[in-house]
Amino acid sequence: MKKIVMIGYGAMAQAVMPLLPEDVNVGWLVVMPQDVAKTQAIVGDEIKVISRISEIDGQPDCAVEMAGQLGLQAHLFDLIRAGIDVGVISVGTFADSVFQKQVEQAAKEHQVKISILSGAIAGIDGLASAKLAGLDSVLYQGRKNPRSWKGSYAEELVDLDQLENATTFFKGSAREAAQRFPANANVAATLALAGIGMDDTEVELIADPKMERNQHKIIAQGKFGAMEIVMMGVPLESNPKTSMLAALSVARFCRQLDDALLI
């Protein structure tokens, strides 16, 4: 039986929990201090709800993070110092190059593995392999209904309520996208880490009132040839900013903890 730590209890975590296999249990759930009592009442006594990694009693098999960039920053180094491997979904946090270097150094020092989860897209394995021969360009286009961009920096760039046609409201690097759209641009950051880096990966973000699903498009070229992948992801009903596939990637990570054959 595997016992894991879950960081965050938002829409994604709540979607992941029912998908965990029978041999993987959530032993600890980390939330904000003001949410501990409320969350404990929801999940019951079998899971210990805490607000600090130091409150973990025992040695978990791993941790999975679904708490957003601030949540990852708050807890990742404590997890590393505790010797706990971590699966990360808030990949945009690594747009901060200083943070990334500090994480890599700490993980090596404490012999901890930080797994970047694929999230809302496919093709990460192919892109990372293609990089070995040399990539010339990588473009990511994120196209979502305007309601999925609500509450983000997009509201300062375009009137989301008045759009009648598809509008590209952002063009820039993956680093800038991840920093300006922390809840929406984890895909861009993941592609950047797998491919040619945060500053050379191009990003275009589009609000399209005709879209009912979240479209992720990857266009890459290099010595390997060319790659074009289009994903049409269904957003979580409880949070349209989040793709269902992102939650499924976390569940897959947890299901592979005991697998001898990994794909």
Distance CA 89, CA 178 (A): 13
Distance CA 30, CA 55 (A): 10
Alpha helices in the chain (DSSP H): 11-16, 36-43, 68-81, 97-110, 124-131, 154-157, 174-180, 186-194, 244-255
Catalytic residue among 4, 216, 222, 235: 216
Q: Edge-to-edge, what's the strand order for the sheet holding 114-116?
A: 48-50, 24-30, 2-7, 62-65, 86-88, 114-116
Q: Annotated binding residue at 122? A: no
Q: Annotated binding residue at 184? A: no
216 counts as catalytic: yes
Number of residues that this document lists for the chain: 263
Which residue matches tokens 């070229």? 221
C-alpha angle 117-92-233 in degrees, rounded to nearest 5: 60
Distance CA 111, CA 80 (A): 8
List all residues 6 or more positions away from 101 whose beta carbon is below 8 Å from its beta carbon: none
Q: Which residues are annotated as a binding site for NAD(+)?
A: 120, 186
Active site residues: 216
Q: Which residues are annotated as a binding site?
A: 120, 186
